[in-house]
Structure 1
Amino acid sequence: MKALILVGGFGTRLRPLTLSVPKPLVDFANKPMILHQIEALKDVGVTEVILAINYQPEVMINFLKDFESKLDIKITCSRETEPLGTAGPLALARDKLIDGSSEPFFVLNSDVISEYPLLELIQFHKSHGGEATIMVTKVDEPSKYGVVIMDEETGKVERFVEKPKIFVGNKINAGIYLLNPSVLDRIELKPTSIEKEIFPEIAADQKLYAMVLPGFWMDIGQPKDYITGLRLYLDSLRKKSADKLAVGAHIEGNVLVHESAAIGEGCLIGPDVAIGPGSVVESGVRLSRCTVMQGVRIKRHACISSSIIGWHSTVGKWARIEDMSILGEDVHVCDEVYCNGVVVLPHKEIKSSILKPEIVM
């Protein structure tokens, strides 16, 4: 089987992290976002993953070369010279996706994190005999999304309602699809939306089905959702592989610590924290609801909450960082500095406190 991951553009919502690497390579729970998907695809028998990309393909391919051999899976790029929306990239990669077999192929949005129940998706797709299956997830505020109206018993999709003013349902497109090769005949090589143009057409022909995604789901393409996604992911990890989570008197709730990270005495860490490889957390530090990426040093008695600390950054003694602050790569916050909702571009030094949310360029 094959899979195409829609990598897309510049990842502006996750800046300043995406100023250092393309969005799919931003760490999430101690590994690049896209690796979570590639591993899940490999587990269900996918042998080739095609990345549909229009930004820094060389960086992506060079990075993923290592994982090709480790995971024993082929990873190739299909490069757009102009943005083609969410369906155009499938037409562009048509020759890569069709191999003479009539096997369906996966399509995934790159910034979706979930438990990836792909085996169940394959079984459901083969059982209904339609042309395409989309995964849907239940949300609390459907008026913010395009809602999928479906037959609850069969899963057949009836129609889509974009940002409904009155309640029509609470299931939205989860960005994980299994498509028959015939779907490619519906797509022209031009900017096209799979959600707004192709899926409604398949639904009108009564060949589109939806499967409700079990477990958690999050689009982690922006900081607030990234932090929420980490909580949901660690919660899921607790249920499935609790042995991967940190334990000890200094740990509160779900915490993921890379084996090469070092943690000092008298810290309190958690809930919902990921500490990346080679990071050093000195004594007396308080961490909650945050990600600390590779090679970070957090000095004594610093306090970080609801924030993301980018690669190789330093947080000074008694510093306090909170309220969705994002430090880019190689940012240095001096001792006793307070940062409230601050976004700091790479290679900067913060010498004095910033009390209101702002971007430091």
Structure 2
Amino acid sequence: MSEEKVVAVIMVGGPTKGTRFRPLSFNTPKPLIPLAGQPMIHHPISACKKISNLAQIFLIGFYEEREFALYVSSISNELKIPVRYLKEDKPHGSAGALYYFRDRIMEEKPVSAEAASQFGELIADPDTKELLHYTEKPETFVISCLVVSDFLSLVLDFVELIRFHFYPLDADIFKAIEGVYSQMRDTSSNYQLSSFGQFQSATRSVPADFVRLDQDILSPLAGKKQLYTYENKDFWEQIKTPGKSLKCSALYLAQFRETSPHLLASGDGTNKKPMIVGDVYIHPSVKLHPTAKIGPNVSISANVRVGPGVRLINCIILDDVEIKENAVVINSIIGWKSSIGKWSRVQASGEDNERLGITILGEAVTVEDEVAVIGSIVLQNKTLNVSVQEDIIL
């Protein structure tokens, strides 16, 4: 294998996305909302860390730089690999953003297309290291799993998916993007929609300089037999809504059993430890009363306080939440700095495809004692002193 460098690029979108993630995304960018105890973006970044010869990771989006500054600094120090956030001046699309920052991406002088074609492609599971597939000297290779590769860059389309799209690409991708831009300039409409784009044009408009990697670049390459896919047998899930994040958190927690068992909590209700059922992540700073019962599929973030007799099932509890004695939380996401009163109940059906199948409390919501919040969404800074069911509290 060549010792030349690999660069990873992760597309993180921007604030025009994530509106369906409200109220959680009002004050926190969607990629930084915790999933199984870590920001969503942390999971693909951690996967990238396992790539041989990884020189740098770029996050590209159009959030304000200050929103990512603290996380980028922290993760760079943790992984000992430079992680940079590059802010687009406006949304360019996944391919357009790649082209817009092509000079920055090429700073590390990653491997050339000529060098890449001299090697076969080994595809391995990022966690078990099991060899899954081998292709001899591919000219271009695009897959849906993590790759051990000597290609220019690993482009991850983060915005809508857990387990994401992984695109190992060489420098010729910039020529393909330039070709699409040329078509756009040459057509009277300033944009030549793909067949898939024509199908979607009735529901959304595409800006003239907006180029998408999957529809506008990769689909034509597939027709020319310049693109190949590898079918990933592992889990794959969209994460467009908070309800889906609860399902995805459970998937990652289950995966931790094989990949990171040290992250999972344990306890049998004895020796002053609470009862832990199934897969549960608990931040080290959490204060748990030993009579609480937690799990399955629960993620509890930093500085949470859980009182006596509390029952938590299939839920995400974000930073600085207080859950008082004998409260119950089921199929719910509890926002930062919220408070659940004594003998209160916050729950939902758990059907993540239903509009109110998951109860969501925004930041700094107070549920007073003996109040039930069932199948509802509550915006930030609200106080509930009466029970609500299947409602949206604005």
TM-score normalised by length of structure 1: 0.80
Query: How many angstroms apart in 2 are the aligned matches of 1:121 and 1:220?
Result: 27
- Name the stretch that deviates more: 267-276 or 117-126: 117-126
Question: Of 283, 304, 313, which residue of structure 1 is paired with 2:308?
Answer: 283
Q: What is the match of residue 169 of structure 2?
A: 179
Query: How many angstroms apart in 2 are the aligned matches of 1:49 and 1:101?
Result: 12
Q: What is the match of residue 257 of structure 2?
A: 238
Query: How many angstroms apart in 1 are the aligned matches of 2:385 and 2:255?
Result: 39
Q: What is the match of residue 110 of structure 2?
A: 101
Question: Of 129, 132, 139, which residue of structure 1 is paired with 2:138?
Answer: 129
Query: How many angstroms apart in 2 are the aligned matches of 1:207 and 1:296?
Result: 51
Does 1:88 find its partner at 2:96? yes
Query: How many angstroms apart in 2 are the aligned matches of 1:353 and 1:128?
Result: 63
Identity score, percent: 32
Query: How many angstroms apart in 1 are the aligned matches of 2:292 and 2:36?
Result: 20
Does 1:9 find its partner at 2:14? yes
Would you say the 8 A contact 1:121–1:178 is kept in 2?
no
Alignment of 1:257-268 (within 5 A): 257-268=282-293
Question: Of 14, 32, 35, which residue of structure 2 is paired with 1:25?
Answer: 32
The amino acid across from 1:5 in the alignment is: I
Moved over 6 A (4+): 118-123
Inter-CA distance 116–307: structure 2 relative to 1 (3 Å threshold): farther
Query: How many angstroms apart in 1 are the aligned matches of 2:89 and 2:130?
Result: 32
What is the Cα deviation at residue 120 of structure 1?
Answer: 7.2
Inter-CA distance 50–136: structure 2 relative to 1 (3 Å threshold): closer
Does 1:77 find its partner at 2:85? yes
Query: How many angstroms apart in 1 are the aligned matches of 2:173 and 2:127?
Result: 19
Structure with more relative contact order (C-alpha pairs < 8 Å, separation 6 or more): 1
Q: What is the match of residue 155 of structure 2?
A: none
What is the Cα deviation at residue 357 of structure 1?
Answer: 3.0
Alignment of 1:185-264 (within 5 A): 185-188=175-178, 190-249=209-268, 250-264=275-289
What is the Cα deviation at residue 67 of structure 1?
Answer: 2.1
What is the Cα deviation at residue 78 of structure 1?
Answer: 2.3
Query: How many angstroms apart in 1 are the aligned matches of 2:110 and 2:127?
Result: 20
Query: How many angstroms apart in 2 are the aligned matches of 1:120 and 1:181?
Result: 27
Would you say the 8 A contact 2:64–2:87 is kept in 1?
no
Query: Aligned-residue CA RMSD in angstroms?
Result: 2.6
Q: Deviations over 1:298-321 (max 9, x none)?
A: 001111111111112111111111
Would you say the 8 A contact 1:260–1:279 is kept in 2?
yes
Q: What is the match of residue 334 of structure 1?
A: 368
Q: Deviations over 1:200-244 (max 9, x none)?
A: 111122111111224222233312211111111111111233333
SS in 2 for 1:132: coil
Would you say the 8 A contact 2:127–2:259 is kept in 1?
no
- Name the stretch that deviates more: 115-124 or 311-320: 115-124
Would you say the 8 A contact 2:93–2:210 is kept in 1?
yes
SS in 2 for 1:212: coil
Q: What is the match of residue 112 of structure 1?
A: none
Q: Deviations over 1:140-190 (max 9, x none)?
A: xxxxxxxxxxxxxxxxxxxxxxxxxxxxxxxxx952221111112111462
Q: What is the match of residue 351 of structure 1?
A: 385
- Name the stretch that deviates more: 320-329 or 344-353: 344-353
The amino acid across from 2:293 in the alignment is: L
- Where structure 2 has 5 or more consecutive residues not aligned to the other structure, the ranges are 1-5, 114-123, 147-162, 182-208, 269-274, 349-357
Would you say the 8 A contact 2:309–2:327 is kept in 1?
yes
Would you say the 8 A contact 1:44–1:118 is kept in 2?
no
SS in 2 for 1:199: helix
What is the Cα deviation at residue 124 of structure 1?
Answer: 5.8
Q: Deviations over 1:288-307 (max 9, x none)?
A: 11011111110011111111
Q: What is the match of residue 159 of structure 1?
A: none
Q: Which one has a larger percent strand, Structure 1 or Structure 2?
A: 1
- Where structure 1 has 5 or more consecutive residues not aligned to the other structure, the ranges are 105-114, 138-172
SS in 1 for 2:277: coil
Inter-CA distance 289–19: structure 2 relative to 1 (3 Å threshold): same
TM-score normalised by length of structure 2: 0.74
What is the Cα deviation at residue 280 of structure 1?
Answer: 0.9
Alignment of 1:46-61 (within 5 A): 46-61=54-69
Q: Deviations over 1:111-138 (max 9, x none)?
A: xxxx97399799968745132312179x
SS in 1 for 2:11: strand
Inter-CA distance 128–224: structure 2 relative to 1 (3 Å threshold): farther
